[in-house]
Amino acid sequence: MPWTRDEMAARAARELQDGYYVNLGIGIPTMVANHIPEGVKVTLQSENGMLGMGPYPYEGEEDADLVNAGKETITELPTSSYFSSADSFGMIRGGHIDLAVLGAMEVSAKGDIANWTIPGKMLKGMGGAMDLVAGVRRVVVVMEHVSRNGTPKILPECTLPLTGEGVVDLIVTDLCVLACDKQNGGLTLIECAPGVTVDEVVAKTGAPLTIADGL
């Protein structure tokens, strides 16, 4: 059975390591904060100018001045700090963020990512994704394996405008986990969701896959 959105976030959270500074993108990636492994301490960074984000507030305790980059209300911690957006992007561009978890519309077999616009659709803004994929040490993508009409979102080449080339390290979908070889190109299937077969993953993937031993 495919993973739910919450289960996808939980699987992505297993990529967090103790001491990491982490940026979570909009959508499913924000749910990763609810699944930080026990004993692992990470610091969440938001490009709108906050380091050390707390969990979502309880209903009725929201503070409209405390929001993440997706305009969702959050809470602060005793160790939280605030700064300008320019300083926040200085952290990202300077290589000080260990891991970013992002959503995507398409990912290629070479680790290219397209996640900021669809031609002909209204554009709210490109956000910080381009800076994140260029400046963060490791990029994990969390997304549905296929589009609403069943079209593969993992392709030999992206068809949508690129956010970054050769930047994705790992893809977590509702069906599986794929490792990207950013240097040589190619995707390796390393894990299937419970009840999902290798054949199903291969059939719904638009790019060739290498199958890890044991699957």
Q: Which are the catalytic amino acids?
A: 47
What type of residue sits at position 202?
V
Helices (H), the chain: 5-13, 85-93, 129-135, 198-203
Instruction: Characterize the bridge pairing of strands 176-180 and 43-46.
Output: unpaired
Helix, strand, or coil (residue 29): helix
Rounded to 5 degrees, φ, ψ at 28 are -55, -40
Closest CA to 19 of 50, 45, 42: 42
User: Phi first, then psi: what are they for 140, rounded to 5°?
Assistant: -115, 125
φ, ψ dihedrals at 192, nearest 5°: -110, 145
Measured over the CA atoms of residue 78, residue 80, residue 81 and residue 84, the dihedral's sign is negative
DSSP state of 147: -
